[in-house]
Amino acid sequence: MNIEEYPTLDWLSFDDLIFSHLGFRFKSVDDLANKIEIYNGKIIWLPLKEWESLDDITIYNSLEELEKPTGEIFIISDISYIKKDGPFRLESVYIRKFIMQYVNTLMSVFLMEMY
């Protein structure tokens, strides 16, 4: 599966999905993060030394050591905005492959936030 073949969920549908599951709407990813904190408690951002010099799979490996994601996930990356397609939607078992393909295919730094 190429990166272009991973399904995306348009922004309006993603907003509707968040509303149906969490009961609120959002205007930006920062707004979403803030509202998730209100809904679910403070998000703890863990420091990762020299993260800017690390490759994306190394960053993911560091995060996976804390808690491995399970089930369906949404990945919001720079491409979610550039193409205006919204978040990528995939099963968590494909996340490692997604990251590798994202970097290899688009030659871009992988910026993700999972909600």
Least confident of 2-16, 21-35, 55-69, 96-110: 96-110
Whether the per-residue pLDDT at 24 is higher than 90: the answer is yes
Range of the domain at 87: 3-106
Q: Distance (Å, rounded) from C-alpha 38 to C-alpha 1?
A: 36
Length of the chain: 115
pLDDT of 43 reads 78
96 domain-assigned: yes
112 domain-assigned: no
Span 52-64, mean pLDDT?
A: 83
Question: Sign of dihedral through CA atoms 40, 14, 66, 70?
Answer: positive
73 domain-assigned: yes
**pTM assigned to the model:** 0.74
Q: Distance (Å, rounded) from C-alpha 50 to C-alpha 59?
A: 10
- Cβ atoms of 96 and 63 closer than 8 Å: no
Show the tokens assigned to 101. 């393909």
pLDDT of 89 reads 93
Whether the per-residue pLDDT at 27 is higher than 50: the answer is yes
Domain count, the chain: 1
